[in-house]
Amino acid sequence: MSREQFDAAIGVAPPSTVDVEAVLDRARRRARVRRVANPWTAAGAGVVAVAAGAVLVLAPGDPGPSFVQPGAAPPPPSSDGCGLDPRPTGAPLKEKAAVVADRLTTVLTAAVQQRVAAGTTLGDHTLGQYPKGTQHGPLAFYHVFSALVEKDSTCSGGEDYFMAAASTSEKAHKGSVWAIVTRLGGNAAPATECSPAPENTQGSCHRRTGPHGETIVEDTFTMPGGPTVNRANVTKPDGTGVIVEAQNTVRDAKLGDAPDMPSPPLDLGQLAEVALDPRLTLYP
């Protein structure tokens, strides 16, 4: 809905001070983060909690399942309409957001460039635009933050995470890579369990333990006639959550475009290596 449509819907009234496009942009970004926090809801119809109703899939030889609590215990339900606070419950950061973003950008850029095919260049991506109209460079992290607001028994806001995105280009092959780094416990925390695959997709999910006790959930799925998504979710013992995703489309897999390259620019193993980089942390 554009501002003109919004004004037409409410009839003759004083000029609105509400930036409708900004509100819708925040809502779309929040919905996307909630989808990717649970790795199998991107092509599904609903949004569910990361651990709710999860179906654990273990490969042969894996140790028994062990649930990793994402951060500190969340606060009890409140009576203000917001229910559980969606903000991260992990330890507060010791650095300013701008310092964190710059540090993470350097680490992620180097890690991705070391693993993509030779000759691959990184470019701007629409997911790197925040707030609306402000474009960040390839794999440049920005801080997504909004206050938690309760109004008319509904809850909005509560975002608090760092995000970066880039398009990839290698000859005629085009794709994309993006990442989220967050404190644990919020609505952007990585998945710690495998869940059933979305309907009408082909894919797999594998959960394992990293070399330093990290919980790693690697998942991939392909939409019929559409792109393939590779994603690594890593929960680190220091309280950092990392999600790194690669797609073989230059736009966004949820748009259902035909693939722009045979497979995503990074495979699951490479994505896990990126996410496991000890420098990709909020607590250096």
Q: What's the predicted TM-score (pTM) here?
A: 0.74
161 pLDDT more than 80: yes
CA 86-87-88 angle, 5° bins = 120
pLDDT digits (tens, 9 = 90+) for 267-279: 999 999 999 999 9
Which residue shows structure tokens 């599904």?
44
For residue 61, what pLDDT band results from cuts at 50, 70 and 90?
A: very low
6 pLDDT more than 60: no
pLDDT digits (tens, 9 = 90+) for 186-228: 889 999 999 877 778 889 999 999 999 999 999 999 988 889 9
CA 144-149-151 angle, 5° bins = 145
249 pLDDT more than 80: yes
Three-state secondary structure of 50-119 = CCCCCCCCCCCCCCCCCCCCCCCCCCCCCCCCCCCCCCCCCCCCCCCHHHHHHHHHHHHHHHHHCCCCCC
pLDDT for the residue 30:
54
72 pLDDT more than 50: no
| Angle between helical axes of 3-10 and 20-37 (0-180°, round to 10) | 110
Helix %, strand %, coil % of the chain (to 5): 20, 25, 55
